Chain A
């Protein structure tokens, strides 16, 4: 996001709308005496467009130019109104478990694990995304094909991202994929180690097919290893059609 310095009056009304916090500085205009304008730190700005959409600028000074690669990935990942063509889903990730009842993406014995760097509201550089991806890659973690971060990888076996995106930044960027249930402890251990190395926060999510009977298989693992999980969750209620057949005796 940019500011037209000949229009901006430095009123600061856009400041509280920025999800990245105080990333603006006030400057004195060189040609207009007494005029102060704001300048947005282009390294920290994620081009999410929130300040523009808030419609609070009284002089219409904010604008979003079309950005060339690699900067264009900022808006693709940060502006929820923009759809990433690779995933065919608006937003930063994939359909993941939302459509598991018809896709069978996460089957019994498999666990979906997502790591959303920068969330909530801190932001992340892709160099931090790569740190996590590299730690997951050797563990049999299968990156989701249609996920934007996966698409930005130059070497999926290593979890290596393209060099030209590493210094780009997004409000958040999510690594999505799955592993075998028996690999879950070492995947979580790797994520725990990655948490010490990244220069941001990340939110972790875990997906499981719920069996027709008995406990959700990931729960005893989380309890045994002492991992916290929230009382609230996202739940596929199984109303999609046609239903994916998970079990031989399924009707």
Chain B
């Protein structure tokens, strides 16, 4: 599925938000892929991701990188999230050189991804997938600011109400912005949640959120 697609936000909000997925292919290179996937994860981790995980095991905020690495099997799909363009370029350069062999996708602003690929010597994008937005009963969606946060979990495991609760908790002094981001990151098992972007979004939302204390 497309759990790293459909992230909402404008260019400014999305320009430092990248999910890099490593995926072996069923019927082609899945058999014997576990060491390749581990190699990809190991390389990716050295480039300082903000999140990293495997949807069946969890991410680095609800387990450890050692646990994620240990539980990789043939067919495991892994997600690594970065909050910096430079880190992804460095990662792509190393992947081009060491070629773990599994397929790699980068989700992000399209022209930025293409530029990063050129800088890494990878040439044109091989295959592209665009989001065409949300159709149907869109009046049921929460406000756009909430969507910008919740759509960072493609499986929709970060509830709309959880964003409200985090804002309330921050306003009431029960959590810091960073602790709120950590709580939401735990809910997004795959590791697609960008905590740096979430913190920025929460800080932008806070002045507009009024807590009724009495």
Cβ B126 vs Cβ A90 within 8 A: no
A218 and B122 alpha carbons, distance in the complex (Å): 22
Contact flag A233-B107 (CB < 8 Å), given A203-B133, A238-B122, A239-B99: yes
Residue B189 interfacial (CB < 8 Å) = yes
- Asked if B138 is at the interface (CB within 8 A of a chain A CB), the reply is yes
Residue from A17, A22, A201, A240 within 8 A of B138 (CB atoms)? A201
Residues of chain B with a CB closer than 8 A to A121's CB: 141-142, 150, 156, 159-160
Contact present for B133 and A120 (CB under 8 Å):
no
Contact of B124 among A95, A212, A222, A230 (CB under 8 A): A212
A235 engages B132 (CB within 8 Å)? no
A97-B105, A103-B28, A239-B95 known; A19+B129 contact, CB < 8 A = no
A-B pair count, CB < 8 Å, reads 287
- The B-contacting residues of A in range 95-151, CB under 8 angstroms, are 95-103, 106, 112, 114, 116, 118-122, 146
Which parts of A156-206 form the interface with B (CB within 8 Å)?
171-172, 174, 176, 191-192, 195, 198-206
Instruction: Give chain B residues whose Cβ lies under 8 Å from the Cβ of A228.
Output: 132-133
B16-37 interface with A by 8 A CB criterion:
17, 21, 23-30
Number of residues on chain B facing chain A (CB within 8 A): 82
Asked if B2 and A236 sit within 8 Å, CB to CB, the answer is no
Could you list which residues of chain A lie within 8 angstroms of chain B, going by C-beta atoms?
15-22, 48, 50, 53-54, 80-81, 83, 88-103, 106, 112, 114, 116, 118-122, 146, 171-172, 174, 176, 191-192, 195, 198-210, 212, 216, 218, 222, 227-242
B24 vs chain A, min Cβ distance (A): 7
Determine if A17 and B159 form an interchain contact, defined as CB atoms under 8 angstroms apart: yes
Chain A CB within 8 A of B77 CB: yes
